[in-house]
Structure 1
Amino acid sequence: MTRKKAKPVSASAIENHVYKVFPNDMNAHNTVFGGMIMAKCDRLALVVAERHSGHVCVTAAVDSIHFRAPAKGNDTLLFSLSLNRSWGSSMEIGCKVIAENSYTGEVRHILSAFFTFVALDSDDKPVDVPAVEPESAEQKRRFNDARIRRESRLAMRKQLSAARGRSPN
């Protein structure tokens, strides 16, 4: 099967999706509940994956979630996500979350994460997705870094399977 025509990163990216923090978003430490931020990232990453692939997609892996700083009450969260790279039926989507104090204008990078999604056909079988065309130097760096992360994930899966005496698939 021939791979679909490549798409630019901008065709599926989400820039500065706004979420206003309210008291019900807070945890016992009076900072924003990390699970809520992760769930929003996953939902938005799904949009990127489905825009790029043109298919229903499912989360296959989440790795490298780094909480860099807490978000607080009265913050506005800005979610930016884009497709870093695709392979066959899978895609890596990068997510960056910024917290902005609406009153002072102060901004803080609070989270970075990488999601792997798989596109499915109408029979729930993996289906090939288009390649991605990085458009900027930053996108090219993320494209190259995604290969390294994928190789690391696959190598770890192979090592764990070997340690358990099983095939990695």
Structure 2
Amino acid sequence: MPLPKKSVRESRAVKASIVLPPDTNNHHTMFGGKVMAYIDDIAAISAMRHCRQRVVTASTDSVDFLNPIREGDSICLESFVTWTHKTSMEVFVKVVAEDLLTGKRAICATSFLTFVALDPDNKPILVPGVIPETEEEQRLYDSAPERADARRLRRQQSRAIAELFESRKPWDR
């Protein structure tokens, strides 16, 4: 029997932080890897809020860096579940930087991730469906099956590439 669907807003999560010198590279902009860690963290929170189960990251479809995040800026991440399949959830993350002295804001990155819900035995478990309520949520929901198909194809290609290297020893080049 299917689980009751949940609204997107029930999974929404927001995280804000100030960008300090240890968070930055030699260009005084935030390390991409640090942004990616924040993205995975906030997306996991949204996934767990949606299914109220433990989750594991299954894939990061993309992280598109659009603008730099500078030292001294605030970084604000917003995430929510956009779509679900049987045991998986697609999560969208938007990263916004704000110059705290001028108030100027810019979307600096967007990302789609997929999480799988796990039962206590670490087996995939069914997740609730999604109810999009805003135009933005509906557009992401409607375009999600296309992203899911692209994910499946990419995963098949990744497995084929991995098989090429399975039999090779690390010192074989």
TM-score norm. by structure 2 comes to 0.89
Q: 1:30 to 1:90 in 2, by over 3 A?
A: same
Where does the alignment leave 5 or more consecutive residues of structure 2 unmatched? 164-173
User: Deviation at 1:158?
Assistant: 3.8
The root-mean-square deviation of aligned C-alpha atoms, in Å, is: 1.8
Q: Specify which of 114, 117, 124 is matched with residue 116 of structure 1.
A: 114
After TM superposition, the structure 1 = structure 2 runs for residues 3-152 of structure 1, keeping only pairs within 5 Å, are 3-15=2-14, 17-152=15-150
Distance (Å, rounded) in 2 between the aligned partners of 1:44 and 1:64: 15
Q: Which amino acid aligns with 1:109?
A: I
Query: C-alpha displacement at 1:61, in angstroms?
Result: 0.1
Give a deviation string over 1:62-117, Cα, whole Å, max 9, x none. 01210001100110011111111000110000000010000001111100001100
One-letter identity of the residue aligned with 1:11: E
Pick closer, same or farther for the CA change 1:4–1:164 going to 2, 3 Å.
Answer: same
> CA separation in 2, counterparts of 1:62 and 1:164?
17
Cα distance change on mapping 1:84 and 1:163 into 2, 3 Å? same
Flag structure 1 segments of 5+ consecutive residues without an equivalent.
none
TM-score of the two chains, using structure 1 as the length reference: 0.91
Structure 1 window deviating more from structure 2 (148-157 vs 113-122): it is 148-157
Q: CA deviation at 1:161?
A: 5.4
Q: Which amino acid aligns with 1:149?
A: R
Query: Given the superposition, is the C-alpha separation of residues 90 and 73 from structure 1 closer, same or farther in structure 2, using an over 3 Å criterion?
Result: same
- Secondary structure class of the residue paired with 1:39: helix
How far off is 1:146 after superposition? 1.4
- CA distance in 2 between counterparts of 1:161 and 1:72 reads 37
Deviation of residue 156 (structure 1)? 3.2
Counting matched residue pairs gives 164
